[in-house]
Amino acid sequence: MARRPAPGRAATTGLLLGLFITLAAVVAYSWYITRQISGLRRLQTELADRSRKDSLQLIRIQSDLHSLGLAMRDMLDGDQPYPLTAWSAQFERIRLDLEDAVRREEEVALAGRTADQRRYLGNSFAQFWDAVDHIFALAQSGQEDEARVQIRLSLQARQAALTTTVARLLIGNNESEEQTAQRVEEIYEQVQWQVYWFLTATLVAIVVTSAYLIRSNRRLFAELASLSEQRHELAQKLIATRESTLRHISRELHDEFGQILTAIGSMLGRTGTRVPEGSPLRAELREIGEIAQTALDKVRTLSQMLHPSILEEAGLESTIDWYLSTVERQFGIAVSYEQNGPALLVDGTTSIHVYRVLQEALSNVARHSGAARAWVRVRCADGLLEMDVEDHGRGIDASAPRRGLGIVAMRERAEMLGGSIDFLRPPEGGTLVRLRVPREALEVA
């Protein structure tokens, strides 16, 4: 037959599986979000940095073109005493700076610019500088008027076209920055919604796991409560069966064996009267009679120990007096007894349970504590019976992995009476067993 898995193990497996799935989802999504944000940050940084550098180079080109425009205006001014060739050094310096700016701009230009646009800008600058070289060649050959005409008709137009082209590139760069910012905003919004969805899914998983945990715990607690109730009922039945068995054995010892030993003693006495005085047989019969009487006393004592009939005949208080004297004789322990309050008038069921707790507590003192003295205090007031059994021996080891069945039986008896039992440690050391029985378990005569 297949073995049914334990409920606790099944619940634990489900909880561990749910925890593993939740943690795996959190780790995977955290890794995904981290990658997304890292890539977004890298994209934003690279685009912003390249766009800034590109704009700086375009502004640099625009500034150089503006300088060229001012230089050409001065060259066309008739009031200038200098020949046109005097501006050649300035043009060369601006040319070098422009070439460096164009080269740098091509390195950092955004990927959105087409190859035709790049070629157009390069060709325009090449044509512009060819025109500049032609003008300075005319000026050097003495054709300054023709050179000025070429500046006015060709060079200024090319400079204006280049300025317009660079301005358009700046505008395109700004538009690209705006598109990039919009794209980044969209990605941020997408990541934000993904975070919201993930949080919602995580909360749902937590709610489902918590509901499963609550359901499993309720089922486990219900099973524990059922097992505890079954254990309690079983313990009560075992205690009741034990008391019934001990009562039966006690009566059998007292009635059957006691009567047999009494009859043997009586028969030995009658037989001894028929034997002549001084006969060795008479002495042997007397010795056998003494042995039979000793056996009878031991049987009666054992019968009282198993189930004291004095408890039903004289009550709990007299039984305690008798039992304490028996403990002193059997175990050699000095017991101080103190009884406060009215007489202990309780019913038979309560009496036997209180007596068994006293018997077990003193038995533990004799067997485990190593103490030579014990104190028994009984108080009965306001319908509450309280009994203390105290010793100053080794005490109970709270770290012991297993406790004796005697302690379990004492707890069960206290619960059967509706009371409580505590195992305390007095200031002097040792153990203090305190039993409390409420009013409802007492029957006042």
pLDDT at 316: 79
The answer on pLDDT for 433 being more than 90 is yes
On the question of pLDDT at 198 being above 70, the answer is yes
Q: What is the mean pLDDT of residues 88-99?
A: 89
203-225: b (≥16 Cβ within 10 Å) or e: eebeeebeeeeeebeeeeeeeee
Whole-number percent of the chain with pLDDT over 70: 82
Residue 208 predicted with pLDDT over 90 = no
- Tell me which of 189, 214, 239 is where a domain ends: 214
> DSSP letter at 152?
I
As a whole number, the mean pLDDT across the chain is 79
Q: How far is CA 151 from CA 82, 90, 133, 136, 156, in A?
A: 16, 16, 11, 10, 6
pLDDT for the residue numbered 444:
46
Contacts 24+ apart (CB under 8 A), 401-408: 404/364, 406/360, 406/363, 406/364, 408/235
Distance CA 330, CA 324 (A): 10
Rounded alpha-carbon distances, angstroms, from residue 19 to 26, 203, 213, 340, 397: 10, 13, 11, 60, 39
**Distance, CA of 106 to CA of 193 (rounded, Å):** 38
Is residue 233 in a domain? no
Is 273 within a domain?
no
Residue 221 lies in a domain: no
| Boundaries of domain holding 395 | 309-441
Domain termination residue (choose one: 197, 214, 231)? 214
Q: Supply the CATH number for residue 134's domain.
A: 1.20.1330
316 lies in the same domain as 191: no
- H-assigned helices in 109-155: 115-140, 144-150
Q: What is the CA radius of gyration of the chain?
A: 56
CATH code of the domain covering residue 385 = 3.30.565.10
Q: Which whole number is the average pLDDT over 43-65?
A: 80
pLDDT at residue number 45:
67
Q: How far apart are CA 194 and CA 209, in angstroms?
A: 22
Number of domains in the chain: 2
Residues 35 and 141 in one domain: yes
Asked if residue 204 and residue 320 are part of one domain, the reply reads: no
pLDDT of residue 304: 66
DSSP string, 269-326: HHHHHHSPTT-HHHHHHHHHHHHHHHHHHHHHHHHHHHS-HHHHHT-HHHHHHHHHHH
> Which of 73-77, 97-101, 242-246 is least confident?
242-246
Confidence of residue 122 (pLDDT cuts 50, 70, 90): confident
Same domain, 204 and 353: no
Give pLDDT, residue 417. 83
Asked if residue 401 lies in contact with residue 334, where contact means CB atoms within 8 angstroms, the answer is no
- What DSSP assignment string belongs to 341-384? SS-----HHHHHHHHHHHHHHHHHIIIII--SEEEEEEEEETTE
Q: What is the mean pLDDT of residues 277-302?
A: 76
Q: With respect to residue 301, please indicate whether it lies within any of the assigned structural domains.
A: no
Mean pLDDT of the 63-78 span: 85
Model confidence at 19: pLDDT above 90 = no
pLDDT at 271 over 70: yes
Residue 3 lies in a domain: no
Phi, psi values for residue 96, rounded to 5°: -60, -45
